[in-house]
């Protein structure tokens, strides 16, 4: 959307994610080494969901964290097809959101991501088009000299 995230780029060498928002010229970043959530279950499922003509499998990470004496239950689902290989070593240190575990388990780029918190808040990312092409590494260059940490 016009006020949301314009781009999110992960750098495996610094283990930082950089966020550009549409309504700001400030570059934000955060370390991806771990998540404050405690993982208590991982479920795998072969499902019949079809995304862009690909039959998808599903991995769900069920976790929770506590803040201000409240428990937050979180479900993070990844729907994927093995056709889109990702080298899991690129994400081996990316503990935020259990991405290291996800890529180690699937070695695949996800086609849909669903984050559900307490069944009352949901965030989704879903592929709308896949264009296979070579990408110049320069496209991922980020001037980090003007960046500030999110947390």
Residue 103: predicted pLDDT: 96
| E strand or H helix that includes residue 21 | strand 16-21
Place of tokens 């890529």: 103
Residue 35: predicted pLDDT: 84
100-132: string of b/e by CB count within 10 Å (b at 16+)?
bbbbebbebebbbbbebeeeeeeeeeebeeeee
Residue 1: predicted pLDDT: 54
Residue 107: predicted pLDDT: 97
Residue 147: predicted pLDDT: 76
Residue 143: predicted pLDDT: 77
pLDDT of the chain, 151 residues: tens digit per residue: 566 788 888 888 889 988 888 888 888 888 888 888 899 999 998 777 899 999 999 999 999 988 888 888 999 999 999 999 999 999 999 988 899 999 999 999 999 999 999 878 999 999 999 988 887 877 777 777 767 777 6
d(CA 27, CA 17): 10
Taking the alpha carbons of 126, 14, 37, 42 in that order, is the dihedral positive or negative?
Answer: positive
């Amino acid at each position: 959307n016009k006020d949301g995230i314009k781009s999110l780029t992960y750098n495996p060498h610094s283990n930082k994610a950089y966020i550009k928002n549409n309504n700001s010229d400030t570059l934000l970043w955060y370390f991806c080494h771990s998540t404050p959530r405690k993982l208590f279950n991982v479920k795998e499922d072969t499902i019949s969901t079809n995304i862009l003509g690909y039959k998808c499998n599903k991995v769900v990470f069920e976790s929770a964290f506590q803040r201000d004496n409240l428990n937050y239950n979180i479900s993070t689902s990844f729907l994927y097809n093995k056709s889109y290989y990702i080298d899991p070593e690129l994400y081996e240190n990316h503990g935020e959101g259990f991405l290291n575990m996800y890529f180690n388990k699937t070695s695949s780029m996800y086609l849909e991501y669903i984050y559900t918190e307490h069944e009352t808040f949901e965030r989704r990312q879903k592929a709308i088009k896949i264009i296979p092409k070579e990408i110049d590494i320069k496209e991922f260059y980020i001037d980090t000299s003007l960046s500030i940490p999110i947390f």
